[in-house]
Amino acid sequence: MPFPATHPALERALEQQGYLEPTPVQAAVLKEPDDRDLLVSAQTGSGKTVAFGLALARGILGEAERFGRAEAPLALVIAPTRELALQVSRELTWLFAQAGARVATCVGGMDPRAERRALQAGAHVVVGTPGRLRDHIERGALDLSALEVVVLDEADEMLDLGFREDLEEILDSTPKERRTLLFSATIAKEIANLAKRYQKDAARIDTLRRDEAHGDIEYRAVRVAPGELEHAVVNLLRYFESPGALVFCNTREAVRRLHSALRERGFSAVALSGEMTQKERSDALQALRDGHARACVATDVAARGLDLPDLGLVIHAELPVNKAGLLHRSGRTGRAGKKGTSVLVVPYNKRRFAERLLDSASIDAGWSGPPLADEIRAKDQQRLLSDPILTEPASEEDLVLAQKILADSTPELVATALIRLHRQRLPEPEDLFDDGGGRETGQTIPSARPQRGGASYDPMREGPSPSREPRPESVGAEWFRMPIGRQNNADPKWLIPLICRLGHVTKKDIGQIRIFDRETKFEIIAETEARFRQAVKGAAEGDIRIEPAAAPPAADRPRGPRPDRPPHGGPKPHISPRPNGPRPPPSGNFKGKPKRKPNAPN
C-alpha cells in the first residue's frame, strides 16, 4: 500500500529516497494521533527511524509548509551509541531537508565546543547519546524548555549499558506536557517501568514476529575445531564473497587479533570497537559503505542500529552470549527487503550452547562443516566464468590493445594471464579439519570430503577406520589435562595442533593422549616439559585451558586389542577357564553401572 498522507515536504523526501510503501511499524505509527505517546517494539531493520521521524514531524511541523526559525529544540532523540546517533541524524536530515529543519548532533567523542556552538545557533531537532546530552544540559548549553517531543531509540540497550540515571535526569529536565515516543526491541520489566513513569496513556504497538526468524536472513551453523576459528572466518569470507561483511567478536582484544590476521592474509578489513576514537570508528564505517573495505571486525558496539548497504553476510566468530545478541547482530543484514546470511562459527566444545541459543531464538539453522579449500577454488572458477568483464562490449581502444597482445601471445597465454590477475586479488583459503559429525539440518555448505554421520559417508568407499593405538609411554614425561573430552567431540586430529599452539611445542614432544568423557590427559616429554609448563600459564583458546595433572590410573587406560585375540574374522583361540570358576551373576538392579544415590555428590 502507498504511504498515508503525511506532509507534502516529507512525501517528496520519501519519494526521492525510493520509499514506495510503509513498513509495518511505519504504517502502525502513522495510524496513531499526532499527540499520543507511543510504546513501540519492532525488530531491527524494520524502518523505526523513519517511523518516529514521521511521527515527531507531524506534531512539531503541523500545517506549516516549512519549519520556522531555529531556536531552542522542538524534538530530542536519544540513542545508546555514537554510531546509531549519527545514523539517526543522517536519516532525519534527508527526511526533513525539504521542510527546512536544522538537525544538531551531540555525541561522545566529538568536539563539545562545536556542539555548543551549533546549539547556540539554534536547532529544530537534537540527536544525541545520554552522557553527552546530560553534560550539555548541566552546562546550560542545551535548553529543553520548548521541547514538544522526546524519542528514546533502542531504550532496552540504553538500560543495558547503564544509562538509566542519565535518562532519568534528561527526561526530568523536559516539559511535563511533552510527547514521549519509546522504541525498544523488547519490552522487559525495566522498560515497562520507564514507560509507566514518563508516558501518559501510551499506545502499545508491537510488530515483532516472535514465532519465526527474520524471513530475509538465512542462518547457518558451522562446526569447527576450537583452534581453527580464525581459519574458518577466512574461508567463510572467501566462500561467500559478499560485498560487505560484519565479523563479530566478544572482546576488543579478539577484534584486534582477528582484524590483524585478516589484514595479514590480504583482506581489505577494518575494525570497530569501543576503545577507538570517534574519527576512527566513522572512518571504518565509511570505508565499508564506500566499498573500500569488504569486512568489518567488530564488538557488539556494531550490533545495534547500524544500517550498512550491501551487507550480505554476518559472521559470529565468537558466539553471542544470549538470544538478543544473536538477533541484533544478525539483524545488520537482510535489511530493506534484501537477503542476507548469518553464520555461527561453533567450536565442537560449544555445540550444545549454540543449539540452545538457536532454539531460544526459534531459528532453524543449517549445520555443516566449514567450507574447504577445494570448494572455495571451485567457487572462484564459477565466479570468474560468470564475471561481466568477459561479456561487456569492448571499446575501440581496448580492441586495438587486445589485437597487439594477441599478435605476440596465444589466446591460451592471454587467458592464463587473466586467471592469474583474478587470483592475485583473492587471499588463499585455509586447509581445515571437519569430522563431519552431528546432525545436519536445512541447507548446508557442501563438503568435498566424505563425512561421518552425514548422508555422504560411504564406509565401503572410505574403508575401515584406523585403530588408535596409545602412544608408548615416555620415560620421565609429565601429564597435563584440558577440560574437553568425548562429550565435546574431542579428537587427536585437532587436539594435537591445539596443544602445540598453546604450549609452543611440536608433535614429537607429545606422548600418550587419553580422551575421557569430560577431559583429555596427555604427556609432554621431559626435555620440553619446563618450557611447555611456562607457555601454557594463562594461555587459553576460548574455554580451553591446559594445566598440570596426575597420571591417570592404569585402569583408565584406553583398551587396545587383547594379545590373545586375533584380527577380526580369524579363528578364536582356546581360552582357559578362570581359576576361581565362573563369575557370580549380578544381584539387584545392577546392569553394568551402579546406580547413584539421590544425594550423592558429582
Residues 497 and 359 in one domain: no
Q: Of 177, 206, 235, which one is at a domain's C-terminal end?
A: 206
User: 269-272 and 295-298: which strand pairing?
Assistant: parallel
Residue 391 covered by a domain: no
Distance separating alpha carbons of residues 586 and 581, to the nearest angstrom: 15
Residues 229 and 180 in one domain: no
Alpha carbon of residue 557 to chain centroid: 41
Residues 129 and 245 in one domain: no
Contact 337, 187 (CB under 8 A): no
Under DSSP, is residue 134 helix (H, G, I), strand (E, B) or coil? Answer: helix
Instruction: Give the number of C-alpha atoms closer than 13 A to the C-alpha of residue 198, restricted to the C-beta side.
Output: 28
pLDDT at 598: 47
Give the Cβ contact number of residue 337 at 10 Å.
8
Put residue 62 in one of left, alpha, beta given phi > 0 → left and psi -120 to 50 → alpha. Answer: left
Residues 194 and 274 in one domain: no
Residue 152 covered by a domain: yes
Contact 311, 244 (CB under 8 A): yes
Cα torsion at 212, 217, 218, 224 (round to 10°)?
Answer: -110
Q: What is the CATH number of the domain that holds 514?
A: 3.30.70.330
Under DSSP, is residue 482 helix (H, G, I), strand (E, B) or coil? Answer: strand
Q: What's the average pLDDT block by block, 10 residues per block, for the chain (602 residues)?
A: 72 85 86 88 77 86 84 92 87 91 90 92 94 92 93 83 86 91 80 87 77 70 86 92 90 92 90 82 83 89 69 92 86 77 90 91 89 88 79 82 85 82 77 55 38 30 36 70 86 85 85 91 90 83 84 62 46 46 45 46 42
The residue behind cell 577507538 is 276
Contact 446, 379 (CB under 8 A): no
Q: Of 179, 206, 233, which one is at a domain's C-terminal end?
A: 206
Residues 135 and 227 in one domain: no
Residues 173 and 272 in one domain: no
Alpha-carbon distances, residue 374 vs 235, 272, 306, 449, 583 (angstroms) = 11, 32, 35, 10, 56
* Bridge partner list, 103: 125
Residue 427 covered by a domain: no
Residue 467 covered by a domain: no
Distance separating alpha carbons of residues 445 and 374, to the nearest angstrom: 13
Residue 420 covered by a domain: no
Residue 212 covered by a domain: no
Residues 232 and 202 in one domain: no
Domain that includes residue 116, residue range: 8-206
Residue 437 covered by a domain: no
Residues 68 and 111 in one domain: yes
Residues 142 and 268 in one domain: no
Residues 93 and 128 in one domain: yes
Residue 90 covered by a domain: yes
Distance separating alpha carbons of residues 376 and 387, to the nearest angstrom: 16
User: 311-316 and 295-298: which strand pairing?
Assistant: unpaired
pLDDT at 592: 43
Residues 186 and 231 in one domain: no
**Terminal CA-to-CA distance of the chain, rounded, Å?**
62
The residue behind cell 571437519 is 434
For residue 431, report the phi and psi dihedrals to the nearest 5 degrees: -85, 120
Split into its structural domains, the chain has a count of 3
Distance separating alpha carbons of residues 323 and 195, to the nearest angstrom: 24
pLDDT at 474: 56
pLDDT at 565: 46
Residues 274 and 296 in one domain: yes
Alpha carbon of residue 187 to chain centroid: 23
Neighbour-count burial for 237-262, b at 16+ CB within 10 Å, e otherwise: bbbbebebbbbbbbeeebbeebbebb
Q: What is the CATH number of the domain that holds 64?
A: 3.40.50.300
* Bridge partner list, 246: 296, 314
Q: Of 158, 177, 206, which one is at a domain's C-terminal end?
A: 206
Alpha carbon of residue 288 to chain centroid: 16
Angle in degrees, CA 40, 43, 45, rounded to 5: 115
**Cell triple for residue 242?**
559478499
